[in-house]
Structure 1
Amino acid sequence: MNISTMPITDLKVEEPFSTLFPVGEDTLEGIRTDMESNGYDDAFPIIVWEEKGIVVDGHTRFTAALAVGLEQVPVLIRNFENEDDAILYAFHLQRNRRNLADEDILRCLHVLDSIDDAREGADGEKRTRREKIKERASELGTSESKIDKAKKVMEHADDSIREAVETGEKSINQAFNEMQEMRRESGELKGRATSSLACGARYSKTLGKLIEELTRIRDEGWEQVSIEKALLDIETLKNIVEG
C-alpha cells in the first residue's frame, strides 16, 4: 500500500459513505483515547476517493482525529470508476472486519439492492428473487431466511418498524413478526400468526414427541387408559386439524 499523509481539512465526509456504517460511540471513544495517547496508527489509513477527496472508509478514525486536533492523517488514495464501485469497496472492507448486526444488514441490503437494480436495468439481465436472496445472504454472511425477512420488512413494514430495526431497537425477526401480525389484522394477509419457527417444523417436532411418548405408554401397558378416552382424544386432535 502506498500510504501518504494529507491535511485533515482537505478531506470531505459525505453520504452515502458516512451513513453506510454509522460511527459507534464506544468504538469512537476507545480510538480517540488511544489516538490521544499514542497518535494515529499508520497501519489503519483513511481510504480516500482520489478524484473527489471523499472519505470512503475510516470515518471513525477521521472523527477521532478531528476530536484530538490532528492536522495531518495517513491516507490511502484509491481510484473508483463511479460512486457504486466506491460504495461496494467500502462495504466489503467493513463486512470483512466486523460481524454485521441486524441494523447493518438492513442498511447494507438497501444500498446493495439499489446498486444491483440499477445495474440490472442497464444490462438487461434479470434474476429471480430467490437468486438475489441467496447472493445477498452470501455477501452479508447470514442466512437466506434472514435476508428474505429483511426484504419483506423493507417492502411491507411501516416507517416505525423499519426505523426500529435501523436503530437497533428491534431485530429483523421481531420486526418481521410484528409486520406480519399487522398485515393479518388489516386483512392483507390470511391465516393465523406463526412463530419464527416454521409451522411444518413445529408440527413435525410436536408429532414426534407425541408418538414417542405414546409408544412408551403402550409398552408399559394401557391398563390406566380406556379405549373410549383414547378415541375421544383422537377425535379432539381431528377437530383441531380440521379447524
Structure 2
Amino acid sequence: MRINMENNFINISELNIQDPFVSIFPVGNDTLESIRQDMDTNGFDPIFPIIVWEGKNVVVDGHTRFAAAKALGLEEVPVLFKAFENEDDAVLYSFHIQRNRRNMSDDDILRCLELLDTIHAVPKKQKNLDSPKPTRKETNEIRAKELGISPHKVDKARKVLEYGTDDIRESVNSGEKSINKAFQEVQEIRRESGEIKGKPINGLGSAAKYTQTLGKFLKELTRIREDGWHDVSQEKALADLEAIIELIES
C-alpha cells in the first residue's frame, strides 16, 4: 500500500461507491444527518478527507462524509489517494481504520467476522502443506484481536454464522437480537435436532460454590485495589468483566 500524503480536491461525480467497502460499516441515518448539518454550517473539513483508491477512484473510507457532501450538492470534495495491491488489501485497510474509531455493535461484529474470514481464507492451491492449520481456538483469538472483543464472543458469532437460519442471522444484522440471544437459539435448534447432546445450562451451578467463588474474587480484587492498579489498565479490567458477563449469559 502506497500513500499520497497530499490532499486533492476532486469533482464528487468522479468518485465511485461500491461493495464491499460501502457495506463494511453501513451509513447510519443519525450520523449522516449530524455530519450533514455540521458540513452545512462549517463546510467540508479538509483535515478529514475521503480516502480513495488511487487509479480506481473508489471510496475506501469516508462514505458518510461523501453522502453528506452529495446531499448538500457540493461539487468538489477533499480526497487522499492511496494505492493498494488488491481489493483484499483495500478492504482490510478500510476495516481497520473504521474499527479504530467506533464501538462495534453486534451486527458489525457478525458482518465483519464473516468478511475477515473470507479475506483470510487461503485457497487450497496456495496452502503450505508443511504448515499446520490453525485450530479453531487460535483463529478465534486472532479474530478477537482484530475485532476488539473476546474470543468467547467470536466463537458465539461464528456458530451463529455456521448454524443459524437466515432469519436468525438477519435478526442480528438488523439489530433485533444480540449475538448472545441468537447463539442461544442456534444451540437450542441444534439440541432439538440431536446434533449436540445435553440439556440447556441456565444456572451457575451450585449456589454454595458460586457464593464461595464470588467471595474469593471480591476479596482478591480489594487486595489488588489497595496495593494499587499499576499493572492493570481500566480497559483490561472492563474487558475481563465483559468476558465474565458473556460466560454467564452463555
Q: When the two structures are superposed, what TM-score results if normalisation uses the length of structure 2?
A: 0.78
Higher helix proportion (structure 1 or 2): 1
Q: Relative CO higher for 1 or 2, CA cutoff 8 Å, sep ≥ 6? A: 2
1:118 positional shift: 3.1
The answer as to 2:81 corresponding to 1:77 is yes
Q: Flag the structure with larger Rg.
A: 1
How far apart, in 1, do the equivalents of 2:101 and 2:108 lie? 13
Distance in 2, Cα, partners of 1:65 & 1:139: 31
Match of 1:227? none
Residue number in structure 2 paired with 1:105: 109
C-alpha distance in structure 2 between counterparts of 1:138 and 1:112, whole Å: 12
Q: CA deviation at 1:211?
A: 11
- Cα RMSD for the two superposed structures: 2.0
Gaps of at least 5 residues in structure 1 are 213-243
1:208: how far off? 4.4
Aligned residues between the structures: 207
SS in structure 1 opposite 2:122?
A: helix
2:178 to 171, 174, 181: 171
Where structure 2 has 5 or more consecutive residues not aligned to the other structure, the ranges are: 215-250
Aligned positions of 1:1-243 closer than 5 A: 1-118=5-122, 122-124=126-128, 125=131, 126-195=133-202, 202-203=204-205, 206-209=208-211
Tell me the CA shift for residue 206 of structure 1.
4.3
- Alpha-carbon separation, structure 2, partners of 1:120 and 1:43: 43
Structure 1 position 52, deviation (Å)? 1.1
Q: Which amino acid aligns with 1:149?
A: K
Q: Distance in 1 between matches of 2:208 and 2:58?
A: 56
Give the structure-1-normalised TM-score: 0.80
Distance 1:204 1:85 in 2: 50
Aligned structure 1 segments of 4 or more residues deviating by more than 6 angstroms = none
CA distance in 1, matches of 2:124, 2:142: 14
In structure 1, the residue corresponding to 2:55 is in which secondary structure?
coil
